[in-house]
Amino acid sequence: MVHRHLLVAASLPMALAFATTPAAAQAPETTPSIVETMRTLSGKQKARPSGAKGQCFTGSFVPTAEAKNLSKSPVFAKTSTVVARLSVGGGNPKVMDANKAVNRGFSFRIDPGGAGQTEFVMVNAPINFVKSPEQMLEFLKVRLPGADGKPQADKIKAFTDANPETTGQGRYLASKPVVGSWVGVNYWGIHPYTLTNAAGAKQLVKFKMAPLGGEVGLTDEEAKAKPADFLVDELKGRIEKKQPAGFDMIAIMGKAGDEKTNATQLWDGEDARPTVKLGTLTITALEKNETCDNAIFDPTTLADGLAGPDDPLFIQRQPAYAISIGERL
Ligand code: HEM
């Protein structure tokens, strides 16, 4: 099946691709520069400039009865098929799987059929490293090499001093052990979403994918001993041995007044908030990478009953990913 985002990226002029989302109206000018700078930093390769290394899988999603009470979305009405890409962060497709400095990514498409297709693009941290497209562009630009080809440490320091919230995600990752399994770590959607049920009641939530078999962390010693590409083999082994290979989808409940447009911030007491289990996503088979690479995972593709925030950072992800696929294919 040719995915519709591939069609957007490949066959429409860029202005039209932007026109597919209201997003573009808010901050269209930063999107091409952000993607261009990401691509420059990762060497203009034919690979994603973020989450460059990864593997495609297929699976299923089984919703809970509670999910139906919160959202009328077709993804919570019945069992759906799933296409998922698990990745290692950054723009280096040869990065060691045990690298501690980059995040792990989890992109997935839940497809109940018809108009219900829904996509999430999550990472293994509850917060993002920037709060706006403008801050993202600056964050990337100060990391470009200077005229002498060397990193500009003074520029990075000045930016970091002026934008201390941009260190939060890195500090979170540094506080955790090296990830020992793609299905052994929590992933978060980060942005707040609004669920709407059949009666029209709305509930603000954040999404978290909690590993069925618990977290798997490696000591630095254990990490050093791991082969460069151990994550695929580890997950293949779990599937073959019928060990836990999936996640509970958890809704962290929001309340009136919660921040919706600063992805660098946790909500007040977020870790202790009430949660509702929305379903279980199981990874069942390895899939050829083409299936994931020939399309984008677009977090703004959400079925009825699910909506993302009115946050330029969230809205810019669709046009950014659409530009990126056009450059990397
Ligand atoms: C909370 C915010 C964000 C998170 C959690 C996030 C996470 C991710 C992940 C996990 C991937 C790998 C996707 C895959 O496996 O196919 C990715 C790719 C990418 N991200 Fe983001 N991202 C965020 C915001 C943004 C923003 C605001 C931009 C640019 C405006 C951006 C630009 C990109 C690009 C260009 C790619 C490569 C896409 C492709 O070639 O298919 N991201 N991101």
Tell me the pLDDT tens digit for each residue of 180-211: 999 999 999 999 999 999 999 999 999 999 99
Give the tens place of pLDDT for each residue, 303-313. 999 999 999 99
Indicate whether 214 belongs to any domain: yes
- Asked if the structure places residue 14 within a domain, the reply is no
Ligand 1 pocket, residues with Cβ under 6 angstroms: 31, 34-35, 38, 48-51, 54, 85, 87, 105, 107, 121, 123, 128, 133, 136, 190-191, 263, 296-297, 313, 316-317, 320-321, 324-325, 328
Range of the domain at 275: 54-310
Give the CA-trace dihedral at 28, 31, 32, 35, to 10 degrees. Answer: -170
Position 4 in a domain:
no
Name the pLDDT band for 86 (thresholds 50, 70, 90).
very high
Pocket test for ligand 1, best of 321, 323, 324, 328 (most atoms within 8 A of CB): 321
Q: Is residue 328 part of a domain?
A: no
**pLDDT digit string (tens) for 115-131?**
899 999 999 999 999 99
Q: How far apart are CA 63 and CA 80, in angstroms?
A: 9
- The CATH number linked to 181 is 2.40.180.10
Residues belonging to the chain: 329
User: For residue 16, is pLDDT > 50?
Assistant: no
Closest ligand 1 atom to residue 49 Cα is: 37
Query: Does 255 reside within a domain?
Result: yes
37-76 exposure pattern, b = at least 16 Cβ within 10 A, e = fewer? bbbbbbeeeebbbbbbbbbbbbbbbebbeebbbbbbbbbb
Is residue 106 within 8 Å of residue 86, measured between CB atoms?
yes
- Whether the CB-CB separation of 57 and 297 falls below 8 Å is answered with no
pTM for this predicted structure? 0.93
